[in-house]
Amino acid sequence: NSIRNLVPSFDHELVYNVLHGAKNSEHALQFFRWVERSNLFEHNRETHLKIIEILGRASKLNHARCILLDMPKKGLEWDEDMWVLMIDSYGKEGIVQESVKLFQKMEELGVERTIKSYDALFKVIMRRGRFMMAKRYFNKMLSEGIEPTRHTFNVMIWGFFLSGKVETANRFFEDMKSREISPDVITYNTMINGYCRVKKMEEAEKYFVEMKGKNIEPTVVTYTTLIKGYVSVDQVDDALRLVEEMKGYGIKPNAITYSTLLPGLCNAEKMSEARSILKEMVDKYIAPTDNSIFMRLISSHCKVGNLDAAADVLKAMIRLSVPTEAGHYGVLIENYCKAGQYDQAVKLLDKLIEKDIIVRPQSTLHMEPSAYNPIVEYLCNNGQTSKAEALVRQLMKLGVQDPTALNTLIRGHSQEGSPDSAFELLKIMLRRKVDSEKSAYDSLVQSYLKKSEPADAKAALDSMIENDHLPDSSLFRSVMESLF
Distance CA 84, CA 94 (A): 15
Instruction: Compute the Cα dihedral for 470, 475, 476, 482 and give only its sign.
Output: negative
What's the CA dihedral at 29, 35, 39, 41 to 10 degrees? -110
Q: How far is CA 51 from CA 26, 43, 66, 115, in A?
A: 10, 10, 11, 24
What is the C-alpha to C-alpha distance for residues 437 and 402, in angstroms, rounded to an integer? 12
pLDDT tens digits for range 262-318: 999 999 999 999 999 999 999 999 999 999 999 999 999 999 999 999 999 999 999
Supply the pLDDT for residue 234: 96
Torsion angle (degrees, nearest 10) of CA 304, 308, 309, 310: 80
Going by the DSSP 8-state scheme, the letter that residue 324 receives in this structure is P
Q: What is the pLDDT of residue 466?
A: 94
State the DSSP string of 193-254: HHHHHTT-HHHHHHHHHHHHHTT----HHHHHHHHHHHHHTT-HHHHHHHHHHHHHTTPPP-
Q: What is each CA distance from 22 to 25, 60, 151, 348, in whole angstroms?
A: 7, 15, 32, 50
In this structure, the number of other CB atoms found within 10 A of the CB of residue 340 comes to 10
Identify the pLDDT of residue 484: 82
Report how far residue 122's alpha carbon sits from residue 128's, in angstroms, rounded to the nearest whole number: 10
- DSSP secondary structure letter of residue 73: G
- The segments of the chain whose pLDDT lies below 50 read none
Residue 483 CA to residue 461 CA, distance in Å, equals: 12
Residues in the chain: 484
Measured in whole angstroms, how far is the alpha carbon of residue 99 from the centre of its chain?
Answer: 31
- Answer for the pair 185, 216: CB distance below 8 angstroms, yes or no: yes
Rounded CA gap, 429 and 441, in Å? 12
Q: What is residue 218's predicted lDDT score, i.e. its pLDDT?
A: 96
pLDDT at 10: 87
DSSP single-letter state for residue 368? -
Contacts of 392 (CB under 8 A, 6+ apart): 372, 376, 400, 402, 405, 406, 409
Cα torsion angle, 418, 419, 420, 426, sign: positive
Q: Which domains does the chain have, with CATH numbers?
A: 403-484 (1.25.40.10)
**Close Cβ partners of 302 (under 8 Å, ≥ 6 residues apart):** 310, 331, 332, 335
Contact 392, 424 (CB under 8 A): no
Confidence at residue 9, expressed as pLDDT on a 0 to 100 scale: 82
Q: Output phi, psi for 300, to 5 deg.
A: -70, -40
Model confidence pTM above 0.75: yes
Specify whether the CB–CB gap between 280 and 244 falls below 8 A.
Answer: no
pLDDT at 7: 76
Helices (H), ranges, 128-184: 131-143, 150-162, 166-178
Q: Rounded distance, CA 236 to CA 234, Å? A: 6
- pLDDT given at position 1: 60
CA distances from 206 to 20, 24, 70, 170, 179 (A): 47, 49, 53, 13, 22
At 433, is the secondary structure helix, strand, or coil?
Answer: coil
With a CB cutoff of 8 Å and minimum separation 6, the contacts of 211 are 183, 185, 188, 218, 222
CA torsion sign for 368, 345, 288, 309 is negative
